[in-house]
Structures are given as structure tokens and as C-alpha cells.
Amino acid sequence: MKPLLVLLGLAALASLSHSQEGSPASSPQDPSREAGQQQRQEEEEEEDPFYKSPVNKLAAAVSNFGYALFRQQSSQAPSANVLLSPFSVATALSGLSLGAAERAEDVISRALFYDMLDKANLHSTYRGLLGSLGSPRKGLKSASRLVMERKLRMRMAFVKELEKSYGFRPRVLSGNAQGDLQEINQWVQQRTGGKVTHFLAEIPAGLSILLLGVASFKGQWATRFDPKLTRPQDFHLEEGRSTRVPMMSAPRAVLKYGFDSELGCKIAQLPLAGGVSIMFFLPETLTRNFTLIEESLTAEFVHDINKQLKTVQAALSVPRLRLVAETRLAEALQEMRLQALFSTPNLGRISAKALRLSHAHHKVALELGEDGASPVFPSEPEAARLNFPIVYTLDRPFLFVVYDDDTGSLLFIGKVLDPQQA
């Protein structure tokens, strides 16, 4: 990994996270030497004290599922905003694995990157992770649920273990479509603090198992922005177009910063209240290619970047964000080695009746305004910006990740092409 000053190269992080065999710019090496280097890299990563905790190891696995889900969804929507809270989806999938026979359980385990985890204590460890992320101070409200087909008789052992480890009970449809719809929508609204409403317009036809994942995040900066400095500014879109957005500014912000020459992006990390952080990835030019950045994102990559970024003072401008996204995830999940769950899986631990995953619905809301836990960044006249070598302005499409500092869990991830896009 290259030494870091204010500007940094993070190419080695990308190759470590994806176990690539070498970059195009590197000279050919003997395969045995490459294998030895890869083994040493893996040993170094394993020695990182952060990953000695079973909860953190589990968080990394679940987060890597989240990054993979984001890549899949982003590829399906290349010209639209993408906003996900993958943890809610992973929680529902992990809970579903309690009802799966060995082969179906292995399918879920591989998709959630559980291969290297202690399976004997997996679900009890997940309970601990849920408890850690459920703290009200983090601002995250995340909920998962499995909605079962009408009048299904479930095995009580599954119901009890699901509630014990994951904190939710499955919902069996009553057959009263209007009543079922109302109950599900009210449950979602309550669990997200009223931020996610109208989750379902109707009960889906042919429902066997509906996987439901919802989340809302009302973030607060560790240091708040001065509302008097928020003003409309241009956000540059494709083909020379732009839109006016409310841009929050802090002429003397303290943040962690770096530049990745291979990914061609400026990276900034800012602390949020409650032990949560947000990391922005801003491509250098408007003619962007997010693919390289998206492919680099893993839990280990983000963790390593955070250690490498340097604390600087910068002129910072960030659009006020109020984003809501509704996503049908069945197609994306089937592209992620989970096809078997949608065909003829053995879910015999749930019920004697043959079941399959038929639908996966996800809806989230994220809000980041000027609010913060401590007094505003020092404010100076606009001309003061010229005195600082670092200017970080999110005035063109960018990516961001919101993650928990203690466990590394990915809480939210987004691709923002247009902050005004519905």
C-alpha cells in the first residue's frame, strides 16, 4: 500500500479487496511469487484486530452481500439514482435460512458470504449485531419481515428461533387482502418512524414468501452546518445539463480526505452522530464511470481506506439530501446465486407445504440536512475558500456509503446522479 499524504493512491486496496492477480500497469510476476504475496496479504488482513471479533466478521460478510447487491442493482439502473439499505435485506435472508434444508441453506450462506464464519454461533452472533445497530443514537430504523402465503401452517420451532435470533415473527396472510395490506403498510410505517409509507399498493399475486426489507435514516453530522450558508447551486448532470439544489457549505470543515488516481475519484469521510460515518466517492470529471468504484467496494476496502485517509481542513459543499427509493429485488437476488430460492427450494423447516421465495420488496428513506450534534463549523467569508488547497464540492454525480464505526456494517449505500430525482 502506497504511503499517504493529502493525496493518495488506493490501487493496492482495490486489489486486496478483490484478490486480483495484478493491475495492468504492474510487470509480470512468477505465479508462485504472486500466490505467496496473496497469501501474505490474506494473513495481514486476518491479523487486523478489527476482524478478530465474531460480530465484526459477520458484519463484513453481510456488508459484502450489500455491496454485491448494490452493484447488481446499479447495473440494472445505470441512468437512475440507486439507494439501498442492504442490511435489512440480508437480515430477512439470514432469518429465512433457519427454515431451509441443507442445500437451500448453503445457497443462502454463499450469497451472504458466510463461508468463513462459525456456523454454530452464526444466528446468536447476528442477534448481537442487531442489538448493536439498533441503538437509537445511530439514527437508523431498519426492519425485516417474511410474509407467508395465505393460511400457512408453520412449524413453531422455526417461528420461535426466528423471533429469538432476528427479532421478528413471520406474517401469514389471512386471506382478507385489504386487511393484510393495511396491516403490512402500518407495520412498515411504524418501524421506520413514519418515513416509509405506502409500502405495498396491493398484495402481490402468486405470493408464496415475500421478503420485506425497509429502513429509514435521519442522520446528524458530528458537526452541524450553518443553515445561513445553505444556498441554491448548480448540480451538473450529463450532456451539459444542470439542476439547482440546496447546497450546504462549510468553508473550514475538518474531514478525512484522499485521492485515488486509479479510480479517478476524490474520497472524503465525515463523522455522523452516534458512531456512524459517511464516505463520499466523487469522480474527478463529469464524464464519469462508476463501474471501477463500484467494483472496488467491499467491507475490507472501505475499512482500509478509512485508515489511510488524512485529516485535513477543506472548503466543503454537500447537497442537502432527502432521498426515497422503492425497489423490487427479486431479479437482482436471482442474479446473485439465489435462483434456487425462487424455484423449488427445500424450506421444510418452515412448513410441510412446499414454499419458495416469490417476491422481494425494499423501500428506504434517507435524510441528511444541516443538523448536527455539536456547534457549526467555523464560518468565514466566501473569499476564505481561496486560502485552502482542498476544495470538496459534491456538485456532480457521486457515490456514498454510510457505515457503523464499531462493526463496519454497511447501513446505506447510494448512487446520486440527480439529488432532485424522485
Low-confidence winner among 45-54, 291-300, 326-335, 368-377 (lowest mean pLDDT): 45-54
**Which cell goes with 401?**
456509503
Q: What is the mean pLDDT of residues 237-252?
A: 92
| Integer angstrom CA distances of residue 140 from 101, 134, 211, 218 | 33, 7, 20, 7
Which pLDDT band holds residue 379 (cuts at 50, 70, 90)? low
Q: What is the mean pLDDT of residues 34-59?
A: 71
Q: Is the residue at 37 inside a domain?
A: no
Which pLDDT band holds residue 5 (cuts at 50, 70, 90)? very low
> Taking every pair of C-alpha atoms in the chain, what is the biggest distance, in angstroms?
71
Q: What is the mean pLDDT of residues 31-57?
A: 66
Q: What is the mean pLDDT of residues 229-233?
A: 97
Whether residues 345 and 376 fall in one domain: no
pLDDT at 403: 98
Beta strands 276-283 and 265-272 are antiparallel
pLDDT tens digits, residue range 389-409?
Answer: 799 999 999 999 999 999 999
Whether residues 99 and 206 fall in one domain: yes
Q: Which residue has the cell 435470533?
A: 165
Which pLDDT band holds residue 15 (cuts at 50, 70, 90)? very low
Whether residues 100 and 214 fall in one domain: yes
Taking the C-alpha atoms of residue 51 and residue 55, their distance in angstroms, rounded to an integer, is 8
Q: Which residue has the cell 485529516?
A: 311
Whether residues 187 and 328 fall in one domain: yes
Q: Is the residue at 20 inside a domain?
A: no
Q: Domain with 198 in it: what CATH number?
A: 3.30.497.10
Whether residues 293 and 392 fall in one domain: yes
Count CB-CB contacts under 10 A for residue 145: 23
Whether residues 310 and 331 fall in one domain: no
Average pLDDT over all residues of the chain: 88
In one-letter notation, the amino acid at residue 38 is Q
Percent of the chain with pLDDT over 90: 79
Last residue of a domain, one of 367, 383, 399: 367
Please give the residue that has the higher pLDDT: either 8 or 119.
119
8 pLDDT more than 90: no
**Which cell goes with 98?**
433457519
pLDDT at 290: 87
Number of domains within the chain: 2
Count CB-CB contacts under 10 A for residue 127: 15
Whether residues 329 and 211 fall in one domain: yes
Q: Domain with 260 in it: what CATH number?
A: 2.30.39.10
Q: Is the residue at 289 inside a domain?
A: yes
Phi/psi for 225 (5° steps) reads -85, 150
Q: Is the residue at 421 inside a domain?
A: no
Q: What is the mean pLDDT of residues 182-211?
A: 96
pLDDT tens digits, residue range 149-188?
Answer: 998 999 999 999 999 999 999 999 999 999 999 999 999 9
Q: What is the pTM of this model?
A: 0.87
Q: Is the residue at 382 inside a domain?
A: yes
Q: What is the mean pLDDT of residues 245-251?
A: 96
DSSP helix/strand/coil, 379: coil
pLDDT at 90: 98
280 pLDDT more than 90: yes
Whether residues 246 and 376 fall in one domain: yes
Q: What is the mean pLDDT of residues 36-61?
A: 75
Q: What is the mean pLDDT of residues 51-76?
A: 96
- Structural domain including 355 reads 50-219+323-367
Which pLDDT band holds residue 33 (cuts at 50, 70, 90)? very low
Count CB-CB contacts under 10 A for residue 18: 14
Q: Is the residue at 281 inside a domain?
A: yes
* Residues 401/277, Cβ–Cβ less than 8 Å: no
Whether residues 203 and 228 fall in one domain: no
Query: For residue 45, is it left (φ>0), alpha (ψ between -120 and 50) or beta?
Result: alpha
Which pLDDT band holds residue 38 (cuts at 50, 70, 90)? low
* Residues 282/259, Cβ–Cβ less than 8 Å: no
Which pLDDT band holds residue 13 (cuts at 50, 70, 90)? very low
pLDDT at 285: 78
In one-letter notation, the amino acid at residue 70 is F
Residues in the chain: 422
Taking the C-alpha atoms of residue 223 and residue 236, their distance in angstroms, rounded to an integer, is 27
251 pLDDT more than 80: yes
Whether residues 60 and 83 fall in one domain: yes
414 pLDDT more than 60: yes
pLDDT tens digits, residue range 336-364?
Answer: 999 999 999 999 999 999 999 999 999 99
Which pLDDT band holds residue 284 (cuts at 50, 70, 90)? confident
Of the chain, the end-to-end C-alpha distance in Å amounts to: 40
DSSP helix/strand/coil, 16: helix
Which pLDDT band holds residue 283 (cuts at 50, 70, 90)? very high
| Integer angstrom CA distances of residue 7 from 14, 256, 257, 265 | 16, 11, 8, 11
129 pLDDT more than 60: yes
Whether residues 165 and 271 fall in one domain: no
Q: What is the mean pLDDT of residues 308-327?
A: 95
Whether residues 280 and 202 fall in one domain: no
282 pLDDT more than 50: yes
Residue 380 DSSP code: -
Residue 405 burial (10 A CB sphere; 0-12, 13-18, 19+): middle
Q: Is the residue at 15 inside a domain?
A: no
Q: Is the residue at 163 inside a domain?
A: yes
| Integer angstrom CA distances of residue 277 from 89, 128, 256, 313, 362 | 21, 20, 11, 17, 23
